[in-house]
A and B are shown apart, each in its own frame.
Chain A
Amino acid sequence: MNRIALSGNPNIGKTTIFNALTGANQKVGNWPGVTVHRKEGNFTYRNQSYSIVDLPGSYSLGSYSEDEKIATDYILTGDADLILNVVDATNLERNLYLTMQLLEMEVPVVIALNMMDEAERYGLSIDIPQLECLLGVPVIPVIASKGKGLPDLVRTLAETLSLQDDDATDRPRCRQRRRGRMCTPATDENSVPIYEEDRLPHLSQMVVLCEQAGLTPSLWHAMEIYQGAMFPVPLEETPESLLEVRRTLAEDPTAYELAAIDTRYMRIHRVLSKCVIELHGRTAQLTDKIDAVVTHRYWGIPIFALTMLVVFQLTFALGQNLLGNTLDNWVSSFAATAGDALALTPLHPLLIGFLTDGLIAGIGTVLTFIPLIVILYLLLGFLEDIGYMARAAYVMDSFMRRIGLQGKTLISMIVGFGCNVPGVMSTRTLENRNDRMIAMMINPFMSCGAKIPVYGMLIGIFFPKVAGLMTFALYALGFVVAIVIAKLFSKTMFRGDSADFILELPPYRAPILKNVVRNMADNVLSFIKRATTIITVVIAMIYLLSVLPYGVEPYSAGSYLGRIGSFVAPLLAPMGNGNWQAAVGLVAGMPAKEGITATLSMIYAPGAGAGIQEALRTAFTPLSALSYLVMVLLYTPCVAVLSTVYTETKSAFWTIFMAVYTMLVGYGMAVLVFQIGRAWGLG
């Protein structure tokens, strides 16, 4: 029974072809000595059985990875009578690299040119007969996912194997003659890949040397030597022409490694230039054109800013105005009904107060911002999935470099937009300590997801017509403050050279709805989890402080809560928030930022959150609300972030430093906003 080995790059439809050929006739095991899966199956064609082995997917042959080693060893042992090389028609340059190596090995090869439909969509026109001639092996176009071309592939496999039995040396020409086609290039270009010698000195002598040393296939072994393999003969038997190569390799075994690989690519370019029209296709050109705009040196940042503005505007239009208000009505109705029902129970009034004013009103208010979060993360997930966020990171990275900051800091800043805890943790990727400290210290200025309910609440009440713009402005302000502080730190406390890196631009792709929805669902679930766990503890503490000492009027200035607030309030007067309730809101945000919304709801509108909007309109002016939002954006991060900073720096000093300096920056900016606004007559 003839044995066929299936070889190709990962994720190009190799398994689809294997399954289509073998159906249920498969055996799964492991390759000897390793845990890599080995799949083997059978198929029958014209009463002849064929065995097919699925080799591990790899980009090349050699010994750089376990998968490569397995595939290489298997092919070199000669167990397979023929190699079925699956090639992705949309990325011929990359895929033909493995083909070149197979041809060096002088093994019989049939190429299945998969994803032909995608290639056509990309605007690639491949002259398949010409490709067959240039490579000297049969090339069968297939669309494995639709089963197209597979009957022709099976027929070709059977014919090639039978021809091989007849005359192993005349395989390619036989095939061309049989098909009635003529090869246009010189026939010596067929069958064996011919490499230029300008990069690999004396390659032909090296091939002869391998042949004489009994190393076959000789071209494969010669190329291996240039890639660092041992010389096959002792020094005294080395031909004079190869002595220099030998000396160079002895000094540096990698001296010709890249040249050998580049030589194969040069051959691939020569082949493709003769048989592929529109090599880089319309889609690729379109990608380049889009990138030229969205990653433009000057336009890139305004385009990103505009994109985010649209995201926030849509978030408020759909999430807050359309869905949020409906949910708000439902929560209010539920709270009122639950309050009435609880009033009829024999429960202690303090417990009823905790349930209605605390849990239902506090958590309920936080949960009414779920639609906002749903829409925001759906939109951000979409931008992530199509590859735009990578472009955004890229343009911001270029900007950071231009102003002399470490671009990698940007990654932790973007992570910080979700939550500052992973934002701080992601600074681990910065090798330089000073860069890392800067990245860590500025991360709390990135507006995390927990602050969204506060924005939704105050912006929704005071700036409903420009809600998207206001949210965008807050995010932008956080970013600008972070950049200024980073620059300041890099010139003072944390000076030093930064490590260089290049941020990859991944290809654009069509968004996958499942990914976008799953991303959004994860965020919403984690938001609900926080709202029902950490916030419950905060609410319980706030409620307890609001009803103590025993007998005091709940939520009055005489309660412990009121006394704490009254102590802090005078400090907040310069930022226009000199009332104890606003101060308590900020204190409640120290353990977790969601606590601010819940607390404001409890203390401004006790009684299941009813009338919160009216209460806040009375307590704040638009200007004092704005300064309050700036404070929330910039002031001391939550306890979880501080604890992470301590864990990462192992320093109480830097942890306290972060808590104090962010408080001062937040306070200073809030005062600045209020005083400037008042000077302009906005107060």
Chain B
Amino acid sequence: MLETVLRHWDDAADWRALASRTGLTDAQLRNAVDDLLRLGYLQAERPSCGGGCAGCHLSSCEDMGLGRTLSLTEKGKHKSTAIQRLEKNE
């Protein structure tokens, strides 16, 4: 499951495309992403401004209800390439 997610990370333009390519449900993909984050293959950022501002409608920049932005780490890129290479050889 995790290897499949990394295998398709680069091809998939967005979350739904990734779910579709890997054949995972939203919940399964979320679990897989959490695992890959914990293992250091992915990195996540919460939309944040780093400081408050009077007049800003965001009570907390930590939770804007926007979800996280996810990208491959160096470890993730290396693994993704290795999986793809292995698949080609097979």
Query: For the complex, is A415 an interface residue (Cβ under 8 Å from B)?
Result: yes
B46 to chain A minimum Cβ distance, whole angstroms, is 9
CA A325 – CA B47 in complex, angstroms? 37
Is A333 engaged at the interface, CB distance under 8 Å to the other chain?
no
Contact B31 A414 (CB under 8 A): no
> Of B25, B52, B56, B67, which is within 8 A of A280 by CB?
B25
Within 8 A of A (CB), among B18-69: 18, 25-28, 30-31, 33-35, 38-39, 41, 44-45, 47-59, 61, 64-69
B67→A506 contact, CB < 8 A: yes
Q: How far is the CA of A8 from the CA of B68 in the complex (A)?
A: 25
For residue A292, which residue of chain B has the nearest CB?
A: B16
B70 / chain A contacts, CB cutoff of 8 Å: 501-504
Instruction: Verify B57–A414 contact, CB threshold 8 A.
Output: no
Residues from chain A with Cβ under 8 Å of B51 in the complex: 422, 425
- The number of chain B residues with a CB under 8 A from chain A is 52
CB contacts (< 8 Å) of B9 on chain A: these are 502
Cβ B27 vs Cβ A284 within 8 A: yes
Per a CB cutoff under 8 Å, which of A377, A426, A518 touches B48? Answer: A426
Q: 8 Å CB contacts to B: which residues of A493-510?
A: 499-507
Interface size on A, residues (CB 8 A): 73
Query: CA separation between A518 and B68, bound complex, in Å?
Result: 22
A411 within 8 A of B: yes
Q: What is the 8 Å Cβ interface bit string for chain A, positions 514-536, against chain B (1 contact, 0 not)?
A: 00001100110011011001100
User: Chain A contacts of B65 at CB under 8 A?
Assistant: 383-385, 387-390, 506
Contact across chains for B39 and A257 when beta carbons are under 8 A apart: yes
- In the assembly, what is the distance between CA of A325 and CA of B10, in Å? 54
Do A418 and B54 contact each other (CB < 8 Å), given the known contacts A288-B25, A411-B47, A501-B70?
Answer: no
Interface residue from B16, B31, B39 paired with A64 (Cβ < 8 Å): B39
Cβ contacts under 8 Å, A506 to chain B: 30, 65, 67-68
- How far is the CB of A388 from the nearest CB of chain B, in Å? 8
**Complex partner residue of A519 from B2, B26, B59, B75, CB under 8 angstroms:** B59
Q: Is B71 an interface residue (CB 8 A)?
A: yes
Interface window among A144-152, A394-402, A629-637: A394-402
Which of A374-409 touch B at CB < 8 Å?
Answer: 377, 380, 383-385, 387-390, 393-394, 397-398, 401, 408
Known A91-B27, A502-B15; further 9 A-B contacts with Cβ < 8 A: A60-B35, A258-B6, A258-B79, A261-B39, A393-B66, A408-B69, A506-B68, A518-B59, A527-B55
A interface residues with partner B (beta carbon < 8 Å): 59-60, 64-65, 91, 93-94, 252, 254, 257-259, 261-262, 265, 280, 284, 287-288, 291, 295, 377, 380, 383-385, 387-390, 393-394, 397-398, 401, 408, 411, 414-415, 417-419, 421-423, 425-426, 428-429, 448-450, 499-507, 518-519, 522-523, 526-527, 529-530, 533-534, 594, 640
